[in-house]
Chains A and B, each alone.
Chain A
Amino acid sequence: MSIEVKNINHIYAEGLPFETVALNDISFNIDDGKFVGIIGHTGSGKSTLLQHLNGLLKPKSGSITVDGVDITAPGKKMTEIRKKVGLVFQYPEYQLFEETVEKDVAFGPKNLGMQGEELEATVKEAIELVGLDFEEIKERSPFDLSGGQKRRVAIAGVIAMKPKILILDEPTAGLDPKAHRELLSTIKKLHKNEKLTILFVSHNMDDIMEMADSVMVLENGTLVMNDSPERVFSRWEELEKIGLNVPQITELMKKLEKKDSSIEGNVFDMEKAASIIKNYINSKESKAQND
């Protein structure tokens, strides 16, 4: 299930004084089973781009092909696209509305025409996939849950539609560190076990570094970088200029590199950083002894 985006443009409030170009000639391909991170500061067009990928917004020009189907073609049945591409919005817990968790999660699949035992099984599976206890939670009101649980239920509501591509817009925003870690491992599991293609928007560069196969950087509606995380994060100065940063460990190593250029700055994992620092200290010590 690949995504192919070709030269899409989008303009808000066209022809009015508050007209803004939200997307400017964006093109990219995402292969089946990839985990793609999307970064960019607030208002860079991330959310607008995501909404194009499942047909909620239509581009002014350009085309989007999902799994060989052009979703920008007029008269396309939107439910077909939404079955393929699941979109989890920012703060998805605000979309919960049913009396019980089970009913709420069933809303999506029911809209796609699922019913009876199949529906029940799908709901159960989705709730368990996000790491909640189905029997314990199914009869509870979604409004009585904790923030992290609410978010999981909302994500389960999208997963229950069995999409092949899952798009998450800042899924960990506003969660406490524990809920944050748990949710990330759930997403990782979905990617690995369910073989979902995942697009993941985040402001946390450590998360992006840890999980993504490739990273897209958006600025003012333009796609400025689309590369492996290592290559993107080695362009620290450019990222900083557009208001973004790099993983914390990389930032530390880049700062050390500035003090002493014999230290390698492009380091993205803790282990390697630790060994570089250790070697550096050892070499300094042996040098001191030799003198």
Chain B
Amino acid sequence: MIRDITLGQYFPGNSKVHKLDARTKIIATIMFIVELFIVNNFYGFALATATMFMIIKVSKVPVRFMVKGLKPIFIIIIFTFVINVFMVDGTILFHWKFITISYEGLYRAFFMAARLILLILGSSILTLTTKPLSLTDGIEKLLRPLNKIGLPSHEIAMMMTIALRFIPTLLEETDKIMKAQQARGADFESGSVIHRAKSLIPILVPLFISAFRIAQDLAMAMEARCYKGGKGRTRMNEIKFTRSDIYASVFLAAFLAMIIGTRYI
């Protein structure tokens, strides 16, 4: 059940998108997100959707798998939709007692939902096609110029790497503890809100203890191998900006320009 969360997961593959430099993908994703907020009509979204599906097609990640990743945030999308439908004033389409639906409201609701879905699908391409390690490598390289103003880019990247690395471990640990407590007759699904909150204690206490134990072991293992931070540290796999990165950048820049261009239709 807990293993079904696909958000932020890596999908193993060997496509052109997988092989791109992490920096290219990070910048492209940021641009894509910014551009989603610049767009002010559905033509822009249509073009953005088309671009996105083209990239998904090249990346060979099954669309079904990506859509599954939307499930956990489905409630947020519905919530935004409903709020917009009922709260925006304008030309009235439908009126019954205190419920009013306006044309503008409906338009805004669809617009916001489309933006949210694109936002999530678009950014999940990044995590699906980039190994967590190369992702943090990319972030470290991108942040390096900020070292001059005292930002410890290596340490930040290391923290992110460790956090990402231990998400599956902690999920597995949670799963194990939940099962162990269920085997002792614990029930997490029924009862009042207070009862359910209380029933989390038998999971959270062992989970915290496990997390501290894991952290301590990791710190010890890193020290045993003489880890001392970023200074003078080299990498086994240097990330390289290749020709295909240039092509991808040009291609994406063209599409993003077109998408922004839809503002002026």
Contacts and interface: CB of A to CB of B under 8 A. Distances in A.
A40 interface: no
A94 B177 contact: yes
Interface stretch (A84-92, A192-200, A212-220): A84-92
B185 A112 contact: yes
A16 B186 contact: no
Contact of B185 (A13, A17, A82, A94): A82
Interface stretch (B16-24, B49-57, B119-127, B204-212): B204-212
Nearest to B11: A17
A158 B184 contact: yes
A95 B181 contact: yes
B206 A161 contact: no
A13 B183 contact: no
B183 A86 contact: yes
B206 A94 contact: yes
- Interface class of chain A by DSSP: helix
Contacts of A13: 3
Interface residues of A, number: 27
B187 interface: yes
Chief secondary structure at chain B's binding surface: helix
Contacts of A95: 177, 180-181, 184, 202, 206
A28 interface: no
Contacts of B201: 97
Contact of A158 (B176, B183, B186): B183
B179 A89 contact: yes
A89 B183 contact: yes
A97 B202 contact: yes
Interface in A9-55: 13, 16-17, 51, 54
Residue of B176, B182, B187, B210 contacting most chain A CB atoms (<10 Å): B182
B134 to A, nearest CB: 19
Nearest to B203: A97
Interface in A77-128: 78-79, 82-83, 86-87, 89, 92, 94-97, 107-109, 111-112
A16 B185 contact: no
B183 A82 contact: yes
A219 B135 CA distance: 38
Nearest to A105: B184
B184 A111 contact: yes
A111 B206 contact: no
Contacts of A86: 183
A111 B12 contact: no
Contacts of B206: 94-97
Given A16-B65, A94-B210, A108 B185 contact: yes
Given A95-B177, A96-B206, A79 B184 contact: no
A109 B184 CA distance: 8
Contacts of A175: none
A171 interface: no
Nearest to B183: A87
Contacts of B202: 95, 97, 107
A89 B186 contact: no
Given A94-B209, A96-B206, A97-B206, A107 B184 contact: yes
Contacts of A97: 201-202, 205-206
A142 to B, nearest CB: 10
A158 B180 CA distance: 10
Contacts of B184: 82, 95, 107-108, 111, 157-158, 161
A95 B201 CA distance: 11
A56 interface: yes
Given A95-B206, A111-B185, 20 more contacts: A16-B65, A17-B11, A79-B185, A79-B187, A82-B182, A89-B183, A92-B180, A94-B209, A95-B177, A95-B180, A97-B201, A97-B206, A107-B181, A107-B184, A107-B186, A108-B184, A108-B185, A109-B185, A111-B187, A158-B184
10 contacts: A13-B3, A54-B183, A79-B185, A82-B185, A94-B176, A94-B177, A94-B180, A97-B202, A97-B205, A158-B183
Interface of B: 3, 11-12, 65, 176-177, 179-187, 201-202, 205-206, 209-210
Interface of A: 13, 16-17, 51, 54, 56, 78-79, 82-83, 86-87, 89, 92, 94-97, 107-109, 111-112, 143, 157-158, 161
Q: Which 9 A-B residue pairs are closest in the complex by CB-CB distance?
A: A111-B185, A97-B205, A108-B184, A95-B180, A87-B183, A89-B180, A97-B202, A56-B179, A112-B185
